[in-house]
Amino acid sequence: MRALEFEVRSGGTIRIDLEKCESCETKACVKMCNATGMGQILELKDGVPALKHSLEEVKRGACTEDLGCELDCELYGNRAIVITLPVSKLDDYLENSSEQPTYLREP
Amino acid sequence: MARLLEYQGKALFKRQGIPVPEGRLVQSVDEAMNAIDELGFPVAVKAQVLSGRRGKAGAIHFAEDRDSLSQAVRELLGKQIQGSPVEGLLIEEKAEVQKELYMAVTADPSTRQPVGIFSPKGGVDIEETADTEPAAIFTTPIDILRGFYYYDAMDLLRQVGGLESREMLTLANLFTRLYQVYREYDCKLAEINPIALVEQGAMALDARVDVDDDALSRQTTLDIDFAEEAGERAATLLEIAAATIDESDHRGTVHFVQTDPDASYARTAGKIPVGLDAVGAGTGLTIMDELVPLGYYPINFCDSSGNPVGSKFYRITKVIMAQPQIEGYLFVSCVSSQQLDNAARGLIKAFKELYPRTGGQPNIPCVVLFRGGWDDVAVDLFREHGISDGRWIKVLGRDTTEKETAEIFDALYREWKKETGGLQ
């Protein structure tokens, strides 16, 4: 599978499934990323998203982790982007908790 | 602030040459029995929790033989002391004490410099002594650039009265060593209460060491988890998880503290526990003031500041929503210069992951208030993603006050409770 994957400053990854991008008509992620106040790290290259900066620069903070690419791709694109942002030790807490969090329970 | 447990503090004292009773950290009866072979009786058995007044809380026992040691260990391990579970015990030789005194070095915010504190009334709560017998507390400001020397300590101890020359010499020596602990480990407080005069000199019977959390990055040998200051208790696992969010990312901050970790206070007071995220600490306090009279109690405090990136909002939302006791959630921003559309994206991503079946529409009452930069975009994003259509969420804009927000939440909660009966 052709994919663009890169790490971000806070510890996490952004993965873009470029095969899905090929048939995407909107390229919403690139538009969003280049909007005012956003990260401005994506550009179109050969019809699919590519990084304007090196992987190192992106990881150092060039990506502002605004999450706009993933959310706009979900709404207007081909659902090609997955941002994974682990919360260190949160799983430990959930495993050790005697009660389930409310989002897993039914009213 | 990162507070060390007694045995950790004593290890630092020992490294700086401050005598402490010989002791062992144990986590089972078997370990205690092995330790006693080296220590011998009598011993003190001390619960290792961060709360003060352990003696009054029944967290310190004494054992004269194996039976009483075994009983003390069984009784203390796993016990809750002022809300903190006892996971370890310090077993140490019981000292023959002739006199108990107090000694500390701490930061004085009013003079912006360290201060040395001494009192002949040791072994009791020093704040209590300050109230009841202020004349029994002696202090000396310390010039941090010049340092604190033996003769500085002697000058202070001479004012005390009632100390023999030999005792003053011993105590002055320990005072300078305590100052070294304070400086070397970037402390906010290095305290010995009590410091005991014993036949062979003096020793620290207890240790309280609070390290400045801003210095933890260079205090790697201490091996302590960073978390926001939570008063007398140890940081919860959730607070430690929340503190990792800022660990490697300087772009804005999220400060998270559980004000009522098990919601026992809220329940006892007849309040409904809710989760809270505020942009701006003042707004956080204001919304708390509006919620409490209506019958709700935020069991966490959270302040997101400095224009955090969207990923921080995503992570902190997952942390807040992980609290199993909450029956509602509020996100409230002050009229902020933060880019609130990023905050919205963080919340939306979290909600969508937590509630995949409903596309992010929550199952408990949630009120989200955006006021400030890009607030209109933030409100629109919730609508575009279909979350605003959820039955149990209200997304509000800049015309709404904290009071109105609390009232809207109250109405939503009542409707939710009436219709669903609440969470199972």
- Can you tell me the ipTM of this complex? 0.97
Write out the two tokens for B238: 């959730």
Rg (CA), chain B: 26
**Higher-confidence position of B50 and A82:** A82
What CATH number does the domain containing B178 carry?
Answer: 3.30.470.20
pLDDT at B229 > cutoff 80 = no
pLDDT at B1 > cutoff 70 = no
Inter-chain residue contact A107 with B309, CB threshold 8 Å:
no
Name the domain boundary from B76, B93, B110.
Answer: B93
Whether B403 and B270 map to the same domain: the answer is yes
pLDDT band at B200 (very low <50, low <70, confident <90, very high): confident
Tokens 């480990």 appear where? B185
Whether B109 and B83 map to the same domain: the answer is no
Whether B251 and B386 map to the same domain: the answer is yes
Alpha-carbon gap, residue B292 to B69, rounded angstroms: 46
Rg (CA), chain A: 16
Residue B385 lies in a domain: yes
Tokens 């926001």 appear where? B228
Residue B13 lies in a domain: no
pLDDT at B233 > cutoff 80 = no
Whether B209 and B322 map to the same domain: the answer is no
Among the residue ranges A80-89, B38-47, B56-65, B230-239, the one predicted with the least confidence is: B230-239
pLDDT band at A37 (very low <50, low <70, confident <90, very high): confident
Distances (CA, A) of B214 to A7, A9, B1, B46, B114: 27, 20, 8, 30, 17
User: Which residues does chain A have within 8 Å of residue B244's beta carbon, measured at their own beta carbons?
Assistant: 87-89
Number of domains in chain B: 3
CA count, 13 A, side-chain hemisphere, B329: 27
pLDDT attached to residue B380: 98
Rounded to an integer, the average pLDDT of B168-193 is: 97
How large a percentage of chain A has pLDDT more than 90? 87
Task: Extract the runs of DSSP E, i.e. beta strands, from B259-312.
Answer: 272-279, 296-298, 300-305
Residue B342 lies in a domain: yes
3-state secondary structure of B391: coil
pLDDT attached to residue B163: 92
Residue B174 CB partners (closer than 8 Å, separation 6+): B18, B103, B192, B195, B202, B204
Alpha-carbon gap, residue B414 to B296, rounded angstroms: 12
pLDDT at B213 > cutoff 70 = yes
Name the domain boundary from B93, B121, B139.
Answer: B93
Alpha-carbon gap, residue B43 to B62, rounded angstroms: 6
**What pLDDT, in 10s, does the model give residues A40-52?**
999 999 999 999 9
Whether B410 and B292 map to the same domain: the answer is yes
pLDDT attached to residue B83: 67
Q: How many CB atoms lie within 10 A of CB B161?
A: 8
pLDDT attached to residue B278: 97
Rounded to an integer, the average pLDDT of B377-401 is: 97
Residue B304 lies in a domain: yes
Which of B241, B323, B324 is nearest residue A89 as measured by Cβ atoms? B241
The 10 Å CB-count burial string (b at 16+, else e) for B244-259 is bbbeebebbebbbbbb
pLDDT band at A15 (very low <50, low <70, confident <90, very high): very high
Rounded to an integer, the average pLDDT of B260-267 is: 94
Whether B276 and B394 map to the same domain: the answer is yes
pLDDT at B104 > cutoff 80 = yes
Whether B278 and B318 map to the same domain: the answer is yes
CA B247 to chain centre: 17
**What pLDDT, in 10s, does the model give residues A66-86?**
999 999 999 999 999 999 999
Which parts of B27-164 fold into alpha helices (H)? Answer: 29-39, 66-76, 126-132, 150-160
pLDDT attached to residue B153: 97
User: Which residues does chain A have within 8 Å of residue B87's beta carbon, measured at their own beta carbons?
Assistant: none
| B422, closest residue in chain A (CA to CA) | A107
pLDDT attached to residue B82: 72
Inter-chain residue contact B423 with A107, CB threshold 8 Å:
yes
pLDDT band at B125 (very low <50, low <70, confident <90, very high): confident
Residue B325 lies in a domain: yes
Write out the two tokens for B53: 């007044």
What CATH number does the domain containing B76 carry?
Answer: 3.30.1490.20
What CATH number does the domain containing B307 carry?
Answer: 3.40.50.261
Q: Nearest Cα to B248, choosing from A88, A62, A10, A86?
A: A10
Inter-chain residue contact B423 with A97, CB threshold 8 Å:
no
Inter-chain residue contact A87 with B241, CB threshold 8 Å:
yes
Whether B241 and B356 map to the same domain: the answer is yes
Whether B347 and B304 map to the same domain: the answer is yes
Residue B14 lies in a domain: no
Burial of B99 (0-12, 13-18, 19+ CB in 10 A): middle
Query: What is the average pLDDT value for chain B, to the nearest integer?
Result: 93
Are the C-beta atoms of residues B279 and B369 closer than 8 Å to each other?
Answer: no
Inter-chain residue contact B424 with A37, CB threshold 8 Å:
no
pLDDT at B141 > cutoff 70 = yes
pLDDT at A53 > cutoff 70 = yes
**What pLDDT, in 10s, does the model give residues B370-386?**
999 999 999 999 999 99
How large a percentage of chain B has pLDDT more than 70? 98
Are the C-beta atoms of residues B69 and B43 closer than 8 Å to each other?
Answer: yes
Which parts of A1-107 fold into alpha helices (H)? Answer: 18-22, 28-33, 55-57, 68-76, 90-96
Write out the two tokens for B177: 């060593």
Whether B416 and B289 map to the same domain: the answer is yes
Alpha-carbon gap, residue B149 to B172, rounded angstroms: 9
pLDDT at B410 > cutoff 80 = yes
Whether B266 and B340 map to the same domain: the answer is yes
User: Which residues does chain A have within 8 Å of residue B315's beta carbon, measured at their own beta carbons?
Assistant: 10, 85, 87
The DSSP output letter for A59 is: I
Task: Output the CA torsion B260→B76→B74→B14 (10° steps).
Answer: 130
Name the domain boundary from B70, B93, B116.
Answer: B93
Alpha-carbon gap, residue B241 to B233, rounded angstroms: 16
Among the residue ranges A34-43, A54-63, B101-110, B316-325, the one predicted with the least confidence is: A34-43
Range of the domain at B297: 237-420
pLDDT attached to residue B217: 78
Rounded to an integer, the average pLDDT of B240-266 is: 92
pLDDT at B341 > cutoff 70 = yes
pLDDT attached to residue B14: 96
Write out the two tokens for B235: 């940081």
Whether B255 and B376 map to the same domain: the answer is yes
Pair type for strands B272-279 and B329-333:
parallel
